[in-house]
Structure 1
Amino acid sequence: MDELNQVQAHNLLGQKTQTPKRKDNALTRTLRSCCVIPQRYILGVMGLLGVCNAYTMRVCLNLAITQMVNHTKTGEEHIDPDACPDEEIIKNATIVLHPYAIFDWDEKTQGLILSGFYYGYAATQVPGGYLAEKFGGKWTLGVGLLSTALFTFLTPIVIRAGGAIWLFILRVLQGMGEGPTMPALMIMLARWVPPHERSFQGALVFGGAQIGNIFGSFMSGILLADGRDWAYVFYFFGGFGLLWFTLWSLLCYSTPNSHPYISKKELNYLNKNVTTAENSSAKDPVPWKGILRSASVWALVWAAVGHDWGYYTMVTDLPKYSHDVLKFDIKTTGTLTAMPYVAMWICSFLFGFVCDFCIKKGWHTIKTGRIIHTTIAATGPAICIILASYSGCDRVAAMVYFIISMALMGGFYSGMKVNALDLAPNYAGSLTSLVNTTSTFAGIVTPYLIGLLTPDSTLAQWRVAFWVCFAVLVGTNVVYCIWADGEQQWWDDVRKFGYPQGWKHGPLIPDKTEQPESVRLSSKKATEDVF
């Protein structure tokens, strides 16, 4: 313990030597005195807008593609006896013309294009987590989203020049730019947010996904209405991404100690209460041998797979279902597609507040809270999706079930989404990159599989796709309930916890920094966590 105390004393001494340097700058003193809002909340709001920005650029193609494809060219005509009446024909004597629907992509090709983003997204999760831990989350996240914004802005030019192949490649590149987003944000939240604030802050930041879906769907519907050029969608959201990057560069920093004008009161509070510490343990190699043998990690991976399967089914394919099956016009589709995400965003805050409140009151443990909210967010939507598919052409009932489904899915943000911060505050970025890389394969498989299951986009075919979604959501939740945990794991800080009994897989940190045998864990819990 003497060695650990020396490291902590060295860090405290380093912080003291950094503080006077900030006092010498008159501009810094002025900025600090003007900032009445705590900087961790500034980070939370900018993180929300960053995730919002990422999701608008991710999902804008989902609605735009319905106006890019000329459905009269996509093969032999298929007559669906259960087809819903076309809203455009009901409202108007003639069908709205779509002069910019110039591509003849079938459902399989569209599914492949929509899945292209997730190939790139999965490829840069682990490198993104490594870069964020090594160089800080600010620029890893900022530069990644900047590249995605530029690619989004160039999308219309690329499509018209190279068609489906070039669009698929561009979507892969966009996914690569967004890959570091979640690992970098997790690392920054681990440095900035105390444990008792994580459920609410997690709901705030990751609720940006719902804001992005709301804003992206609603604005896309308006921009595409009346047969307008779908290119406007990509220009608009690409420009939004460039604006966000400018604000992020000016306002946010990777750690509290690197922030030039954070108040002394908040800095002292964060250094005292944040679980992770900027000490030498953060410089150790990522303990992959411990991570990959942890039951709680694989429980989190399974929960993430279930979340992503259900979530991407809704995000990627709900616009197609609303437009192709329920036959809403494009403007109504954009508005109605946004409504489930409004419900999810609002409920994510409610779930986050309730979870934090119950933990603070001692009514249940962190582990129990994560399991309860993850179960609500998995089984509730699974049931509602099936009910929506059996509503047939009752548009009101179907959309109500979809809205309830996404509202309940808001529980994920106070459940498994912040669980990585509980398990590994020192390696939250690497753990999140592992979880996201694995679960992102659901984003790759889901659009393509739904394209195969719904070649004619009929109600009966979509019902099969929704039953598959039900099975994945419920099955993965069962795994999470059995092996989930809510405590910091021994491999996240070997100096503090030591090794569990029965550990035979070699050291996780350099030999000279290992703790003596006397401090190694011997608890039953630690032993059970090792495969």
Structure 2
Amino acid sequence: MFSSWKICCTRIPQRWILAVMGCLAVSNAYSMRICLNIAITEMVLTAEASNSTSSDGTCPVSESTSSSSSSKGTYDWDEYTQGIILSSFYWGYVVTQIPGGILADKFGGKYTLGIGILSTAIFTMLTPLVVEAFDATGLIVLRILMGFCEGSTFPAVNVLVAQWAPPEERSKIGTVVMAGIQVGTVLGTSLSGVLIHNSSMGWPVVFYVFGAFGVVWFLAWILLCSSYPDSHPFISDQEKKYLHDTMVEHTQKETGRTPWWQILTSAPMWALMIGKIGENFGLQTMVTDLPKYMSSVLKFSIQTNGFLSALPLLAMWLSGIASSWLADWLIVTDRISRTNLRKVFATIASVGPAVFLVAASYAGCDRILVVTLFTIGMGLMGLIFPSTMVNALDLSPNYSGALMAMTTTIVGFAGIVAPYLVGVLTPNQTLQEWRIVFWITFAVYLVTIMVYAIWADGEVQYWNDPDFRSQRLQESDNEKQGRGYPSTPKHPDQLPSV
């Protein structure tokens, strides 16, 4: 039985099995992370809503909401406290990015990713018990621990994609994996609303369900996936040779010390980090706080809130998948350089959402128009997948874990700032207060994408090659000793042929 299953598995390209499992990993990570965004609207005490438009800029209650408006939460947390709770995940998240990237680069991504997801799943299932025992303080501490465990997710995923995705499939495989962000967010928001609405257990059910998904994924992951193609038990010789031949030039298992100085002085690397700050500030504003906007400002019921909050994220996922195939086609057919493609797609993914978010804030209480504008804006944001999401792999396949760790550490601060800023700026949850939030998001988007469009690069950097760096250091030492060696070239293209 095992042998027949093994034969079946070898017929399926293992790089695509890893892509799907990686997508499910990211999906689990995000669903466990963001299910609180819906649940918190049912956890907190809310004041009775009025059925008439208020002069302070709040919307009237819809018919679907009024039928369930008598449902009240238990915890007396003001907007500031809720902002702290929603941002606390990222306090732990930013701490483990770089250590997680170093571990993944050194030991492979399989267990770095798997243990992180499993730990987060356990903490997720403990959430209702911790909240009941320790209130907001316990929830904040637990969310910090969840972020700490989940911090290695993207560095480990990036290392795995670097080892398994050949250059001509990098956009597609990278996008399939990273699309787990949208899969998890869509499921985390839409399914949370359905579960809470239909379960007698109430809001705790979402933490038990999504935590259990994480445990099941971990068991399948350990069985089906491997850090490297040559150590995979089910991979065919044909696929192993194909991956080796297409990736041997820029991907090595023994990479030596991480070239931190070269990375930290790389203009394309800084352009990528700055670009991702703006991108993630807008994304976190939408992912974390859109359910609050739908509930507190537009007055949607919990089930409707879940579906409508998921709709813009679904549009982002679909556009990300479609644009990744287009991106690879444009690159393979030489219609555009990899660098220019990354810049163009990233610009659309920033300017589009910036414009539509501000437009939504001026649509007032026209619920259909607001949801439409949010959906179009987030749909355009899907172009980040074949641009900034895979750009670290372009710059350095060998040190992609470290690069992803740096970018996610930097952008993790966006996850801290965005919910906190919303909590501070929207104490009364009015349209005018949220309009300020969206204008700030607009400004952050435009400034950061200008930096990315000028200095980004889509080609492998010289410091990706450990042998080149060793030669550079040796020649530098020889020069210092007066042996007359020529200065080290600044780019690998300048190296003499061997």
Instruction: Give the TM-score normalised by the residue count of structure 2.
Output: 0.92
Q: Is the 8 A contact 2:89 2:143 kept in 1?
A: yes
1:521 to partner: Cα distance: 2.0
Label 1:518 to 1:447 Cα distance change in 2 as closer, same or farther (>3 A).
same
Q: Which one-letter code corresponds to 1:520 in the other structure?
A: T
1:34 to partner: Cα distance: 4.4
Label 1:392 to 1:261 Cα distance change in 2 as closer, same or farther (>3 A).
same
Q: Which one-letter code corresponds to 2:56 in the other structure?
A: P
Q: Is the 8 A contact 1:498 1:521 kept in 2?
A: no
1:341 to partner: Cα distance: 1.3
Counterpart of 1:503 in structure 2 is none
Q: Is the 8 A contact 1:32 1:262 kept in 2?
A: no
Distance 1:55 1:430 in 2: 21
1:35 to partner: Cα distance: 3.0
Aligned with residue 47 of structure 2, among 68, 72, 77: 72
List runs of 5+ in structure 2 lacking aligned partners. 479-483
Q: Is the 8 A contact 1:97 1:227 kept in 2?
A: no
Residue 478 of structure 1 pairs with residue 450 of structure 2: yes
The CA deviation string for residues 233-282 of structure 1, in whole angstroms up to 9 with x for no partner, is 111111111111111111010010110120000000000002543354x1
Aligned with residue 119 of structure 1, among 66, 91, 111: 91
Q: Is the 8 A contact 1:374 1:412 kept in 2?
A: yes
Label 1:92 to 1:339 Cα distance change in 2 as closer, same or farther (>3 A).
closer
Q: Which one-letter code corresponds to 1:39 in the other structure?
A: Q
Counterpart of 2:118 in structure 1 is 146
Q: Which one-letter code corresponds to 2:223 in the other structure?
A: L
Counterpart of 1:277 in structure 2 is 251
Q: How many residues align?
A: 484
Residue 212 of structure 1 pairs with residue 180 of structure 2: no
Distance 1:92 1:464 in 2: 26
Label 1:410 to 1:98 Cα distance change in 2 as closer, same or farther (>3 A).
same
SS for the counterpart of 1:422 is helix
1:33 to partner: Cα distance: 5.1
Q: Which one-letter code corresponds to 1:329 in the other structure?
A: S
SS for the counterpart of 1:71 is coil
Aligned with residue 82 of structure 1, among 12, 32, 57: 57
1:227 to partner: Cα distance: 8.4
1:27 to partner: Cα distance: 5.2
1:439 to partner: Cα distance: 1.1
Counterpart of 1:196 in structure 2 is 168
Counterpart of 2:290 in structure 1 is 318
Counterpart of 1:520 in structure 2 is 488
Q: Is the 8 A contact 1:29 1:261 kept in 2?
A: no
Q: Is the 8 A contact 2:189 2:309 kept in 1?
A: yes
Distance 1:145 1:363 in 2: 40
Counterpart of 2:219 in structure 1 is 246
Q: Which one-letter code corresponds to 1:277 in the other structure?
A: T
Aligned with residue 405 of structure 1, among 377, 395, 409: 377
Label 1:494 to 1:260 Cα distance change in 2 as closer, same or farther (>3 A).
closer
Residue 394 of structure 1 pairs with residue 394 of structure 2: no
SS for the counterpart of 2:47 is helix
Label 1:524 to 1:258 Cα distance change in 2 as closer, same or farther (>3 A).
closer
SS for the counterpart of 2:322 is helix
Aligned with residue 343 of structure 2, among 354, 366, 371: 371
SS for the counterpart of 1:72 is coil
SS for the counterpart of 1:386 is helix
Residue 262 of structure 1 pairs with residue 230 of structure 2: no
Distance 1:422 1:92 in 2: 48
Q: Is the 8 A contact 1:60 1:216 kept in 2?
A: yes
Q: Which one-letter code corresponds to 2:17 in the other structure?
A: I
Percentage of matched positions with identical amino acids: 45
Label 1:519 to 1:250 Cα distance change in 2 as closer, same or farther (>3 A).
farther
Label 1:34 to 1:509 Cα distance change in 2 as closer, same or farther (>3 A).
farther
Label 1:357 to 1:444 Cα distance change in 2 as closer, same or farther (>3 A).
same
1:523 to partner: Cα distance: 5.7
The CA deviation string for residues 114-139 of structure 1, in whole angstroms up to 9 with x for no partner, is 00001111111011111111221000
Counterpart of 1:445 in structure 2 is 417
List runs of 5+ in structure 1 lacking aligned partners. 1-25, 501-505, 527-531
Counterpart of 2:33 in structure 1 is 58
Distance 1:210 1:93 in 2: 30
Q: Is the 8 A contact 2:462 2:491 kept in 1?
A: no
Distance 1:123 1:507 in 2: 35
Q: Is the 8 A contact 1:126 1:434 kept in 2?
A: yes
Q: Which one-letter code corresponds to 1:85 in the other structure?
A: P
Counterpart of 1:4 in structure 2 is none
Residue 31 of structure 1 pairs with residue 6 of structure 2: yes
Q: Is the 8 A contact 2:68 2:301 kept in 1?
A: no
SS for the counterpart of 1:123 is coil
| RMSD, matched Cα | 2.5
Q: Which one-letter code corresponds to 1:356 in the other structure?
A: D
Distance 2:224 2:487 in 1: 42
Label 1:279 to 1:239 Cα distance change in 2 as closer, same or farther (>3 A).
closer
1:497 to partner: Cα distance: 7.2
Q: Which one-letter code corresponds to 1:213 in the other structure?
A: T
Aligned with residue 297 of structure 1, among 269, 275, 296: 269
